[in-house]
Amino acid sequence: MKNKNRSLIFTSALLVICALGCNKDPLDQHPIGKYTTENYWRNEADVLAGINGVYNALYSNDWMGHEMYVFGDQSQNIAVKGDHPDYILVGNLHADPTLLVLSSVWDGAYEQIARANNAIMAIPNVPPGINEDIRNRSLGEAYFLRAYAYFQLNLIFGEVPLILEENVLTNSYNIAKSSIDSVRAQVESDLLKAFDLLPESYDAADKGRVSKGTAAGVLCKLYMVEDKFDKAIEYGSKVVNSSNYALAPNYADNFTSGRQEANTELLFQIMNHSQQTPNTQSSEWGIYYAPRAWQGWGFHHPTQNFVDEFGPNDTIRKKATFLAVGDSIPNQTNLITIDASNAYQMFAGKVGEQTGRLLPSMTTTGYVLRKFVAYESDGSGQIDRGLKEPILRSADIYLLVAEAKIRLNGPGSGDAEINAVRARVNLDPVANAGMPELIHERIVELGGENIIWQDQLRWDKDKIINLDTIVDKPRMSSPLPPYNHSVVVPARVFTRPKDYYMPIPQKIIDQSGGVITQNPNY
Amino acid sequence: MKFFNSNRRNKEKWLKIMRVTVIQIFLAILFAGVSYSKDSRAQINMDQRLDLDMHDAKLEKILEKIEKITDAKFVYSINVINLNQKISVDAKSETLDEILNEVLVKSGIGYYVYNNLIVLGPFSGNDVGLASLYTPAIISVYTADIEVHGKITNSAGEPLIGVTVKAKSGGTGTVTDGNGEYTIVVPTDAVLDVSYVGYQAQEVPVNGRRTIDIVLSAAVSELNQLVVVGYGTQRKRDVTGTVSTISGDAIENVPVSNAASALEGKASGVGIVFTNGQPGGVPSIRIRGTGTINNADPLVVIDGVPAGGLNDVNPNDIASIEILKDASSSAIYGARAANGVVLITTKSGSYNQPMKVTLNYYTGSNKVIKDLDLLKAPDLAMLKQEAYTNDGLPVPPIWTDPNTAVNRTDWQKALFKTGTVNNVDVALRGGGENSIYSFSGNYYNESGIIPLSGFKRYSLRINSDHKIGKHLKVGERVTYSNTIARGPNTSSSAPNTSSAQNGVVWSALRFNPSIPVKNPDGSWGTAQGNNELGDINNPLTTIYENSGYAKIDRILANAFAELEIVEGLKIRANYGYDQSTNEGYNFSVATPTQTRGPSTSSLGQNFSKTKTFLEEYFLTYDKNFNGVHKINLVAGYSSQVFKGNHFSAFRSGYTDVSPDSRVLDLGQNASNGGTSDNSFGLQSAFVRANYAYREKYLLTATFRADGSSKFAPGKRWGYFPAFSVGWRISDEKFFQNVKVINSLKLTGGWGQLGNQNIGDFQYLNIITLGAGSFSYNFGESNNSVNGAYITSLPNPVITWEKAEMTNLGLDFSAFNNHISGTITYYNKTTSDMLVLAQLVQTYGDADLPNVNQGEINNRGVEIDLDYNNTIGKWSFSVGGNASFLHNEVTRLYGNTSYLGAPLYGRTNTDISRTYEGQPIASFFGFRTDGIYQNQKEIDDDVNITNDPNKGNIKPGDVRFVDITGDGVVDDEDRGYIGDPNPSFAYGFHGSVNYANFDFSFSFSGVAGVQLYNADRLAGLYSPGVFNWYAEQINRWHGEGTSNSIPRVSKQDLNDNYRSSDLWVQNGSFLSLKSIALGYTVADKTIGNLKIPDLRVYVSSHNVFYLTKYKGYTPEIGYHNNSNLMRGVDFAQYPQSRNFTVGATINF
């Protein structure tokens, strides 16, 4: 064989091999099982999943899924115990910039903002063919969820950097804080867009999405913070006057599994899913409130100060709000052996017996918040992680409208709204109610729902109350043994203006290299 | 037949004596280098008369003259006959017999005539001796009837001059001439024995052929050996880079599962870092230090295919391992060579070699090297009481209960058992004129010192090469391996030995000694009764109530074709395919009586498959211009694509946990998942030129361009140049008078290399769509709907890490090449090192991409020295190597931030941090200054003048040092407290052969290194609810009782166990890694029984450690494969000591 022939054969053999199985353009590779900003947002399905992804941020325990509730521990109503020193320091008005809970909620809020920003940027550019109602609704949801995150950031930290579409486009995340007014203006603008874009209500399959009423409710809350009472009444009335947002017939429906999904009162709730079904999601929020012996983590115990707010006839709300020692809760099947440390009240003399009732060793105050604790109905004793997390109820808006009216027009002008709330729990109407009555009503109606402390901060700023005379009272436990009305958290000192806002997390200040500055007084 | 010596002839006598066959063996040695002329059967006439007049002539000339004028042919061994001796002869019409008597016998040479041959040998005065030596050889030659010719070359095709070729059956032979050609007359069925210094001897059966060309392959550990470099071979004398070669012999039969483990201490600059001692665990290889915080493993190339998996290669199949250390030698692998390259060449057959069957078996046992001293139950109870009383707390009744003070179990003895290792290899190797083959099979089975842990491998390998005509060669290398790693725990491939919850060694060291392994009723002993006993599971429950394995089926195959287009120019195509199928299985039985459960039984299974296809084409051109200019050029193209997919399934809630019921179908609560992995591809072009001028001045230049799909278009291609030069000083004229030094070569080089071993698609803004954690729920019926959001942010400009290396080396050999060595200096800087981007966290929570921001420097000196000699029956070699290494992260985030590592155990101790300006993975913590002995020392201590915690500090607490000088000990006082990277590593090894005995040893050691004994922290941690180290008995309990172990305190208000230098220990060690003694029985026949070549041996691995380190062994490597945490003792699976006996039989 001649060399030439051999070369020919060799070369043709290579060509054949190559044609059959060579690496064709080896560098042309694409992500598998993932999308990029270039090839996502093609159609309606992408838009729906993209918006679901923004809602999904709410589950995060670092954010709405629990850590935001830590800031409610500053009120007299709740005493935190447990092994999270940062919770205790927040509750005792000793926050410092290095606390983990601060950077947790910061990161969680900005993650929700990031997801919403991407949706806001992408949805208008999704090609035609998409149902335009869904496009508008989805855009409205994105604006709402961004606004809500900034609203919460504003309540907790005051001034924060505003990361909006332009920042995402230009990858500029290291920017100075915006003023409190600018942040609120952004929240207002987003909420107004959401209000325009969102539907009034949803059919059964889409229950749980934010609606016009949700946007109106948060606008009402924002205007109350800004002391814009006219506007608060204007937007609050859109909730109060709509049957789509009517109060639930039973107060407890707001906190009962299976009674929440279609509940018109729940303007905004985190749609948890029972974890008995694999591959579904829920926040761990309920676990934080359940006692350890009942498979929870046992934080945030209601104080006697809170319990004492309830009038003698306010039994419906009281029963829905607390568990006291000796109480039981449906479907709770974990049996605990009564030992000497628990042999008090109804358990006296019962050492060695087993019980499913709340024992003294499960709470430092004698009480556990019941609103947020539920058990699976299958007898497994597992916490019902499918309990929805109520974030905004119409009752809150009723009382805000009442407050706005009282503060504009004086006592008695909010009676209708207050009495609507009271009637639902079989309480006699009030007449000529002023701020003290309104404040009492908010505490008992909304107690434990991480609302009252923010109310108190805003009332203190407006000199309606003096927080000094509130926090100087220690937080107490139950008068019954073994607690004997002992001090759970001693009296505190409220420092103005420092304690109106939390410090910016030190991590953020360090990362920004000084672009983001610390809040005053920290 | 006549024999002439002193005119006495006695042929019959010789024929009898020649049957004494034992002497054949000696003959074979004696006849090395025999020369003779052509075959002729004519009987020489010893009585012919001739004239011969030569004065002072060389014997050689005289013999030539006689051959010319007569029919006589002389046969002699040049080793025996001094051809240069000068002799005078003046013969006039004398018989040949007379002339020879005059010329030869006077010179002490005897002769013997057979047909026309005159065989010369030493004249001892005893003719019998002479003839008895020579006759068999002569008989052998003259029963042959064919003449065989051929050319002997090396694997590069260069002729070899002076190669000895002889018949195996009888000792006559020849040597090759200046063209590498030989001619020999042998029986048609003879076997040629071909040997040459520096090459592997070969046996070639003649089988009636008249032309036999033979290619000799270089023997290793010789100065002129051929070195495998990327895409070719090079003579070691021509190499201008730094390449370490480890021959297959050096790692043969070491009782370890993978070749990397056997490399420890064998070459300078090659760090073998063990993570733990679990069976089947592959240590990390770190060439010239840790070159990046990212994947710093070298590229492993097996028979030309870049594919990892050292566990899949049977170490006994390996012919040689070449480690390319410097930029110039690794640059041919460009983008993947920044961490060095390990080239593995497997054994193949040889042309014209009858099939050789090798059978090898060894069996051995493994034991834990030592136990740690722990407290016995009575002392533990006493100290627990003290911990409470020291704090003024009531002592829990359990510690005064006599039942808790009864020692029932030594948990280490309960945990560790004797492991075993068994290995069988069979290899068939050989070849004909046009084909060579090698077929080998291996079974390796190691059961670990922790029950149910083990590693098993079955492997098969087929290598063959075929010549098609003179210019075309094709061949293939195929390996199939099946490995099974077993581990009795939730991580499938190995028992969990790092967790402070479920780690089995950790649990054994912490579990209360008053608890029995099993209760009288057969149930597992448990700590559930009282929290004071600890909230962990009985380690034996963890082991026996879990089952798991990881199985890997792997096929690594390549095929090549090589065509010689014109002389010196070859084109080669190489296709490689690597496919790996991994199966994981874990079943976990519910153990509700243990404190950590699990409460329900569960099964998880996963399956994944990865594959890669490689194609390469390259041209090689070799040309030697008049011996003055020698060039070798290589240019080629390569592409490789990697793909894979995986899926998994999980179920829990098993009611029946009998072994046959542990299948997915029988569980409840199913969940599953899976996806195709991202593919990635590489595309490269490369060129290398070697030039030598008069073999003295050497130059190598390499350039490679690599494209990687991991980077954005526009950032994909990296260009990696390298060059090196060499000067063979010893070949200079002025050096010729230096007799002691045989060779001396100075080399130097520079080059750039790349690393792209990072996550995929970091240049893209990735959106993940999914159920589960991505989902949200809507509607009255709680529909879970998929969600999508951005999960990682892009770095559009991300690109390669670049390593730039300078290399200077000096190679020498001296004292007749008995001593050889290398000294090398290198300086390597990895720049554009990929580190996590630091962005103000207003972007949310998505994963951040890496940015090309860091820089790390490694520099050092490497020394290798070898000595070989043979004196009489003794032959020995010793070698040593030493590496000095300095590692520093030179750029990171400035002083403001660092790269962290996982926190340790229950105490969340922050141990390892990587800061700019410090070695990678440095230890971080407080400095201490003894123990406060009394209250006055506390009151007067300037460290804590302003410390708010001062009131909590009691005598017996640790005195932490206030580095900042503000009178407060706080986090600001923490800093660098130790370096886990050895600054000096060394090894020495040797072998001695005497007659049939062989003995070898290998030591390995490191110095200038610290280890963080985190397990000692856990073992002394007084607030804990676990057993303690025995040394807790020496705790401070009154002034002067201890200055190093703090008082026991339940509350520990001084935080005595925070990260500090108390837990940093000297990690230097010297270990006898292996020692072996063998005895070889050469192949021989006793009666009709042919005894094959047999070697029996005994050996031991990890024989001892000389170290001050207090843990199990000082070989503690990386944690979770991260370069950011090294040398932290988590109570890993300890290394074990092994004893082995074995035998190797060659048929």
From B566, B639, B766, residue closest to A36, measured CB to CB: B766
Does residue A99 belong to any structural domain of this protein? no
A29 lies within 8 A of chain B by CB? yes
Tell which residue, B1139, B1092, B1071, has the closest CA to residue B272: B1071
Q: Does A348 fall in a domain?
A: yes
Instruction: State yes or no: pLDDT of A494 exceeds 70.
Output: yes
Cβ separation of A111 and B846 shorter than 8 Å?
Answer: yes
The CA angle A33-A39-A41, to the nearest 5 degrees, is 105
For A315, the domain range is: 285-387
Segments of B815-940 assigned E as strands:
819-836, 850-871, 874-891, 899-900, 912-914, 922-925, 928-931
CA angle centred on B869, ends B868 and B872, rounded to 5°? 155
At B112-155, the pLDDT tens digits run 776 666 777 766 655 444 544 444 444 444 444 577 888 888 76
- Amino acid B119: pLDDT: 72
In the predicted model, what is the mean pLDDT of residues B871-896?
90
Reported as a pLDDT band with limits 50, 70 and 90, residue A67 is very high
In this predicted structure, the answer to whether residue A209 has a pLDDT above a threshold of 60 is yes
For B753, the 3-state DSSP assignment is: strand
Of B595, B572, B552, the C-alpha closest to B280 is B552
Classify the C-alpha dihedral A196-A201-A202-A208 as positive or negative: positive
Residue A28 contacts B, CB cutoff 8 Å: yes
Three-state SS at B906: coil
- Give yes or no for a contact between B836 and B760, defined as CB atoms under 8 angstroms apart: no
Q: Look at residue B52 and tell me whether its pLDDT is greater than 70.
A: yes
Q: Which of B58-72, B481-495, B559-573 has the lowest mean pLDDT?
A: B481-495
Distance CA A325, CA A336 (A): 13
Q: What is the pLDDT of residue A203?
A: 95
Q: Is A28 in contact with B709 (Cβ distance < 8 A)? A: yes
In the chain, the amino acid numbered B971 is D
The beta-strand segments (E) located in B873-1016 are 874-891, 899-900, 912-914, 922-925, 928-931, 958-960, 975-978, 984-994, 997-1007, 1010-1012
A446 in any annotated domain? no
Contacts of B946 (CB under 8 A, 6+ apart): B966, B967, B968
How high is the pLDDT of residue B1040?
95
Res. B848: pLDDT tops 80: yes
Count of Cβ atoms closer than 10 Å to residue A124 Cβ: 10
Mean pLDDT within B777-789? 95
Write down the pLDDT at residue B118: 76
Distance in Å from the first CA to the final CA of chain B = 38
User: Does some domain include residue A321?
Assistant: yes
Strands B146-154 and B214-216 turn out to be parallel
pLDDT for the residue numbered A462: 97
State which H helix or E strand residue B842 sits in: none
Residue B817 has pLDDT above 80, yes or no: yes
Cβ within 8 Å, pair B764-A36? yes
* 3-state class (DSSP) for residue B194: strand
Strand residue runs (E) in B206-258: 214-216, 226-229, 232-235, 243-247
Nearest chain A CA: its distance from B359 CA (Å) = 38
Are the C-beta atoms of B229 and B322 separated by less than 8 Å?
yes
Least confident of A91-105, B39-53, B1123-1137: B39-53
Q: Could you tell me the two tokens for A519?
A: 């809040």
pLDDT band of residue B197 (cuts 50, 70, 90) is low
Question: Which residues, other chains included, contact A370 with Cβ-Cβ below 8 Å and sequence gap of 6+?
Answer: A255, A319, A320, A321, A322, A323, A329
For chain B, percent of residues with pLDDT exceeding 70: 90
pLDDT digits (tens, 9 = 90+) for B1023-1068: 999 999 999 999 999 999 999 999 999 989 999 999 999 999 999 9
Q: Spell out the residues 6+ positions from residue B367 whose beta carbon is closer than 8 angstroms to its own.
A: B416, B418, B419, B449, B1136, B1137
Selected residues 596-635 of chain B with any CB under 8 Å from a CB in chain A: 613, 615, 617
Q: B205-209, B278-282, B743-747: which has the minimum mean pLDDT?
A: B205-209
| CA distances from residue B69 to A9, B73, B93, B1031 in whole angstroms, order as listed | 56, 11, 13, 95
The per-residue pLDDT for B172 is 60
Burial of residue B61 (CB within 10 Å: 0-12, 13-18, 19+) is: middle
Pick the residue with more confidence: A138 or B895? Answer: A138
Which is nearest to B118 in space by CA: B129, B126, B128, B130? B130
Q: Residue B483 has what pLDDT?
A: 92
What residues of B are in contact with residue A37 (Cβ under 8 Å)? Answer: 764-765, 767, 790
Question: With an 8 Å Cβ cutoff, is B787 touching chain A?
Answer: yes
Interface test with B, best of A52, A126, A274 (most B CBs within 10 A): A52
- pLDDT given at position B312: 80
Q: How many domains does chain A have?
A: 1
The answer to whether A52 contacts B788, with C-beta atoms less than 8 Å apart, is: yes
Nearest to A50 among B707, B782, B788 (CB): B788
What is the 8-class DSSP label of residue B926?
B
The pLDDT of B762-778, averaged and rounded, is 94
H or E element at residue A397: helix A394-409
**Torsion over CA of A101, A107, A109 and A114, rounded to 10 degrees?**
180
Share the mean pLDDT of chain A.
Answer: 94
> What percentage of residues in chain B have a pLDDT greater than 90?
61
Residue B79 confidence class, pLDDT cut points 50, 70, 90: low
Q: What is the mean pLDDT of chain B?
A: 87
- Whole-angstrom CA distances from B899 to B67, B764, B792, B912 are 85, 24, 19, 9
- Amino acid letter at B320? S
Tokens of B958: 């640790």
Q: Which residues contact B1139 (CB under 8 A, 6 or more apart)?
A: B364, B365, B1098, B1099, B1100
Q: Is A229 left (phi over 0), alpha (psi -120 to 50) or beta?
A: alpha
How many other CB atoms sit within 10 Å of the CB of residue A343? 19
Span A248-286, pLDDT tens digits: 999 999 999 999 999 999 999 999 999 988 889 999 999
Phi, psi of B169 (to 5 degrees): -70, -35
H helix intervals, B42-118? 59-69, 96-103
The single residue listed with the structure tokens 């590498």 is B180
Q: What is the model's pLDDT at position B21?
A: 33
Residue A321: pLDDT above 60?
yes
Instruction: Report the candidate in A47, A168, A42 with the shortest Cα–Cα distance to residue A113.
Output: A168
Higher pLDDT, B253 or A83: B253
In a domain, A203, yes or no: no
DSSP symbols for A312-369: TT-HHHHHHHEEETT---TT----EE--GGG-SGGGTT-TT-EESSPPGGG-SSSEEE
What pLDDT is recorded for position B37? Answer: 35
Contact B765 A36 (CB under 8 A): yes
Q: What is the pLDDT of residue B7?
A: 35
- For chain A, the distance separating the N- and C-terminal CA atoms, rounded to the nearest angstrom, is 90
Sign, CA torsion B250/B255/B259/B262: negative
Flag if A27 and B683 touch (Cβ within 8 Å). yes
In three-state secondary structure terms, A212 is: helix
Chain-centre distance for alpha carbon B514: 44
A121, part of any domain: no
Backbone phi and psi for residue B199, each to the nearest 5 degrees, phi listed first? -130, 160
More confident site: B832 or B102? B832
Per residue in B307-322, pLDDT (tens digit) is 767 878 899 999 999 9
Instruction: Say if A164 falls within a structural domain.
Output: no
Specify if A163 maps to a domain. no
Q: 3-state DSSP call for residue B330? A: helix
> Can you give the pLDDT at residue B1083?
64
Does residue A303 surpass a pLDDT of 50?
yes
Question: Three-class SS of residue A234?
Answer: helix
Residues in B touching A17 (Cβ below 8 Å): 573, 575
Q: Is A334 within 8 Å of chain B by CB?
A: no
- Residue A1, pLDDT above cutoff 60: no
For A168-172, B163-167, B479-483, which range has the lowest pLDDT when averaged over its residues?
Answer: B163-167
Query: Facing residues of B879 across strands?
Result: B866, B989
pLDDT for B1084 equals 65
Task: Retrieve residue B1084's tokens.
Answer: 């021989």
Residues of chain A positioned with their CB less than 8 A from the CB of B777: 208, 271-273, 280-281
